[in-house]
RNA sequence: GCCCGAAUAGUGUAGCCUGGUAACAUAUGGGACUGUGGAUCCUCUGUGCCGGGUUCAAAUCCCGGUUCGGGCCCCA
């Protein structure tokens, strides 16, 4: 039997209901914040993704050569394509430019729960502003977006790469050292980090202090550690302004400063953040983002950019874990012709209801009333119309409420007004 | 890419250790039943992931592969 390829999935109707709900819900939040939707191609020129991350990323890409010999790749994420599109045709748009997107992405990874080779991302980019209010809004949007979906338990952690870089400089750490240290910081493996710092000729005293700063959410502790670096101090003050706005203007209090948030991709700079759903366990990260620099790399005029991406599939898993009840759009009316001579009138009624925005279906298997009622029940239909010759003599039909079992005789012209109350 | 576990009707499971006719529940289709039977009863169809090996005989034992799940690596 032919199966779906490794790491990919089919989405039957009951899954698609959840996915569409989430898409509509998220799109509504994005648009309420003044964002416009954008869509880019599923595949791009390979160099778009190797430009910053280097050739090694090809191992994690679905990369291929087309019949014209072009080196292409299925997109592994959407930030680079959106910025490519901006540079290519949107540079003269009024600023700030606020874009959001949904799209399937592809990575050649080992699949596990919440992790697939084809997965969906939702996300956004803000181009043309790096004011504190813009950054605060980005944080607020990410948090609000996930909250609006119905998620109860999420954690927002905020870090800052400018401050981390300043600390690296202060500890006289070289680029090569950072490559070893950053992954350890990202994974919060502080015991290993301590040993690695020692290998990098950092004194135990400084190393311990650094590790403490990485774990604290106390701003004064961070400030005293970076007291002799003006850039870092300025950045910290900016961050405080942002957090102040987040708290007092956007009224979002649930966040933690966590300097160990450093993100994987190296085009980020300044403020970075992640949102976790603890219910998901090992693969718990739902959202990641921050400020980054990609526009000049793609040949555009330098402009501030920031954004975030949300793991759409994981958001659904998290909602399911929390026992969230997804809204389930149902068929409004099922029409049962008592016999085949009732087919024409049944179809006419269905069409009439459909034209009034009431979803309607009729028995197409020529089943008896009993079997049809059972079918309507299995489909969780609200109302059933039974069309039979006895009532039809008086231009009426039977309207049955499937919840209560109550039945009434309704004149044909009154069906629509009777059902409109649903 | 690495380590561990799993895979049996559409779905959920039993049987596997100790090789011998593949089973149960549920769902689907049909019927009892030519208008109320959302019930009940009857019934058809439908199952061993793939490939090799051992054996008179493999769902069962062995090997390889595939996919899924758990954990690494990496990341969303």
For strand A333-337 and strand A383-387, is the pairing parallel, antiparallel, or unpaired? parallel
Residues 93-122 of A with CB under 7 A from strand B: 107, 109-117, 119, 121
CA of A411 to C1' of B76 (A): 56
> Is the distance between the Cβ of A269 and the closest atom of strand B smaller than 7 Å?
no
Taking Cα atoms as reference points, which of A349, A372, A362 lies closest to residue A419?
Answer: A349
> Is the distance between the Cβ of A339 and the closest atom of strand B smaller than 7 Å?
yes
CB of A236 closer than 8 Å to CB of A218: no
To 10 degrees, what angle do helices A13-32 and A312-321 make?
110
Residue A272: the pLDDT is 92
* CATH superfamily for domain A333-420: Anticodon-binding domain (3.40.50.800)
CB of A53 closer than 8 Å to CB of A29: no
> Is the distance between the Cβ of A390 and the closest atom of strand B smaller than 7 Å?
yes
pLDDT tens digits for range A358-387:
999 999 999 999 999 999 999 999 999 999
Q: Residue at minimal CA–C1' distance from B72?
A: A110
| The pair of three-digit structure tokens given for residue A361, joined into one six-digit string | 């279906």
> Is the distance between the Cβ of A388 and the closest atom of strand B smaller than 7 Å?
yes
CATH for the A13-321 domain, from 3.40.50.10540, 3.30.930.10, 3.30.360.10, 3.30.980.10: 3.30.930.10
The span from the CA of A17 to the CA of A85, in Å, is 31
For residue A307, give Cα distances in angstroms to A155, A266, A409, A418. Answer: 18, 14, 58, 49
> Is the distance between the Cβ of A278 and the closest atom of strand B smaller than 7 Å?
no
Q: DSSP secondary structure string, A13-61? A: HHHHHHHHHHHHHHHHHHHHTT-EE----SEEEHHHHHHHH-GGGGGGS
CA of A367 to C1' of B30 (A): 10
Cα distance from N-terminal residue to C-terminal residue, chain A: 45
Flag residues of chain A having pLDDT under 70.
1, 53-56, 264-266, 421-422
CA of A4 to C1' of B51 (A): 20
For A158-215, the three-class secondary structure string (H helix, E strand, C coil) is: EEEHHHHHHHHHHCCCCHHHHHHHHHHHHCCCHHHHHHHHHHCCCCHHHHHHHHHHHH
Residue A265: the pLDDT is 59
For residue A10, give Cα distances in angstroms to A16, A128, A336. Answer: 9, 39, 32
CA of A121 to C1' of B76 (A): 8
Residues 286-305 of A with CB under 7 A from strand B: 286-288
Q: From the DSSP assignment, how many helices (H) and strands (E) are in chain A?
A: 15, 16
Residues 20-59 of A with CB under 7 A from strand B: none
CB of A332 closer than 8 Å to CB of A382: yes
Q: Which nucleotide is nearest to A370 (CA to C1')?
A: B37
CA of A113 to C1' of B15 (A): 30
The span from the CA of A330 to the CA of A257, in Å, is 44
> Is the distance between the Cβ of A386 and the closest atom of strand B smaller than 7 Å?
yes
A148's enclosing H/E stretch is helix A132-148
CA of A338 to C1' of B34 (A): 10
CB of A95 closer than 8 Å to CB of A128: yes
Q: What are the domain boundaries of chain A?
A: 13-321, 333-420
> Is the distance between the Cβ of A378 and the closest atom of strand B smaller than 7 Å?
yes
For residue A254, give Cα distances in angstroms to A39, A186, A188, A212, A216. Answer: 32, 21, 21, 22, 16
> Is the distance between the Cβ of A370 and the closest atom of strand B smaller than 7 Å?
yes
A72's enclosing H/E stretch is strand A71-74
ipTM above 0.90, yes or no: no
């Amino acid at each position: 039997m032919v199966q779906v390829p490794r790491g990919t999935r089919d989405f039957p109707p009951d899954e698609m209901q959840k996915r569409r709900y989430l898409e509509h819900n998220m799109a509504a939040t994005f648009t309420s914040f003044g964002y416009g939707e954008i869509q880019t191609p599923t595949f791009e020129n390979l160099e778009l993704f190797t430009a910053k991350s280097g050739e090694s990323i090809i191992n994690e890409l679905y990369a291929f050569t087309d019949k014209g010999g072009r080196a292409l790749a299925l997109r592994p994420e959407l930030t680079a394509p959106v910025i490519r599109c901006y540079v290519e045709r949107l540079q003269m748009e009024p600023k700030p430019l606020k874009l959001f997107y949904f799209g399937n992405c592809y990575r050649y990874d080992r699949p596990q729960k919440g992790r697939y080779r084809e997965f969906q991302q939702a996300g956004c980019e803000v181009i043309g502003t790096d004011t504190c209010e813009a950054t605060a809004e980005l944080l607020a949007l990410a948090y609000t977006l996930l909250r609006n979906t119905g998620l109860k338990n999420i954690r927002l952690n905020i870090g800052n790469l400018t401050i981390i870089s300043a600390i690296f400089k202060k500890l006289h750490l070289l680029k090569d050292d950072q490559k070893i240290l950053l992954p350890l910081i990202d994974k919060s493996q502080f015991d290993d980090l301590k040993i690695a710092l020692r290998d990098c000729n950092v004194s135990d005293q400084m190393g311990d202090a650094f590790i403490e700063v990485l774990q604290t959410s106390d701003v004064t502790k961070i400030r005293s550690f970076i007291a002799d670096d003006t850039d870092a101090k300025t950045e910290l003050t900016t961050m405080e302004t942002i957090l102040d706005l987040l708290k007092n203007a956007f009224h979002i209090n649930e966040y933690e400063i966590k300097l160990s948030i450093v993100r994987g991709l190296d085009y980020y700079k300044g403020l970075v953040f992640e949102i976790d759903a603890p219910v998901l366990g090992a693969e718990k990260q739902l959202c990641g983002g921050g400020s980054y620099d990609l526009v000049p790399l793609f040949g555009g005029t330098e402009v501030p950019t920031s954004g975030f991406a949300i793991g759409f599939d994981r958001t659904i898993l998290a909602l399911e874990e929390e026992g969230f009840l997804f809204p389930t759009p149902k068929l409004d009316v099922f029409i049962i012709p008592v016999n085949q001579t009732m087919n024409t009138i049944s179809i006419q009624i269905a069409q009439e209801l459909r034209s009034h925005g009431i979803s309607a279906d009729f028995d197409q298997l020529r089943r008896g009333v009993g079997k049809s009622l059972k079918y309507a029940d299995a489909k969780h239909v609200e109302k059933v119309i039974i069309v039979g010759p006895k009532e039809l003599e008086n231009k009426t039909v039977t309207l049955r409420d499937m919840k209560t079992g109550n039945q009434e005789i309704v004149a044909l012209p009154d069906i629509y007004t009777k059902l409109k109350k649903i």
